[in-house]
Amino acid sequence: MTQDDWDAQAATFDDQPDHGLRDPRVRAAWADLLLPLLPPAPAAVVDLGCGTGSLAVLLAEAGHDVCGVDLSPRMLDVAGTKAEAAGVSVDLRRGDAADPPCPPSTYDVVLVRHVLWAMSDPSAAVTVWVRLLKPGGRLILVEGRWFTGAGISADECERLVLARREEAAVTRLDDPDLWGAPIEDERYLLVSRS
């Protein structure tokens, strides 16, 4: 998808329960999933393809130093408004998640949700993301293979990560609280700590 495509979705993007995290139950489910995976605050976290910033703001509220990168200026505008309303600071940068405007070896955590599947070269993207990590940093991917046929399977995602890292743990994300409704497709979390 192009910048124009994402810009066009910015106004309604948060209508999806897992995008906007407006439902307290959905928001709590994402906090319960992600926060225990992060080092103690304030960890340096980059959220690539941050969209409207829901996860970036969630992590900033927990005391982390968060940078959000997105291709869409309109998505970043929404993210900025959201961060301001929450009273937190998020460093928002316009850029391509495949080649983010971030220096290597800078982050304790690279978080990427529902982005890898959309990359023209997923293998190259994972290589770039791993380079952003400090030694001992954590790569956290939330992906899926959806009922529409789009997406990337857990097996493929794991293979891509293990070509660059020693470890990758995959957990199925079938809790309806994460999505605001029951799901029947493949959604998962991949965490690589080394």
- Could you give the CA distance from residue 53 to residue 82 in angstroms, rounded to a whole number? 7
- Ordered domains of the chain (ranges, CATH): 3-11+40-192 (3.40.50.150)
Interval 98-118: pLDDT, tens? 999 999 999 999 999 999 999
3-state secondary structure of 193: coil
Specify the pLDDT at position 160: 97
Query: Among residues 175, 192, 58, 61, which one has the least CA distance to residue 126?
Result: 192
Q: Is the pLDDT of residue 8 over 90?
A: no
- Structure confidence at residue 20 (pLDDT): 94
Sheet holding 90-94, edge to edge: 90-94, 65-70, 44-48, 107-113, 133-145, 186-192, 169-172
pLDDT in the model for residue 6: 82
Q: How confident is the model at residue 73 (pLDDT cuts 50, 70, 90)?
A: very high
CB atoms within 10 A of CB 73: 13
Distance CA 32, CA 170 (A): 17
What confidence tier does 48 reach under pLDDT thresholds 50, 70, 90? very high
One-letter-per-residue 3-state SS of 114-179: CCHHHCCCHHHHHHHHHHCEEEEEEEEEEEEECCCCCECCHHHHHHHHHCCCCCCEEEECCCHHHH
Position 9 scores a pLDDT of: 84
User: For residues 128-144, b (16+ Cβ closer than 10 Å) or e, as one string?
Assistant: bbbebbeeebbbbbbbb
Average pLDDT over residues 129-138: 98
| pLDDT for residue 22 | 95
CB contact at 8 A, 137 and 38:
no
Q: Where are the beta strands (DSSP E) in 2-89?
A: 44-48, 65-70
pLDDT tens across 52-63, in order? 999 999 999 999
Lookup: tokens for 178: 């994460």
Of all residues in the chain, the percent with pLDDT exceeding 70 is 100
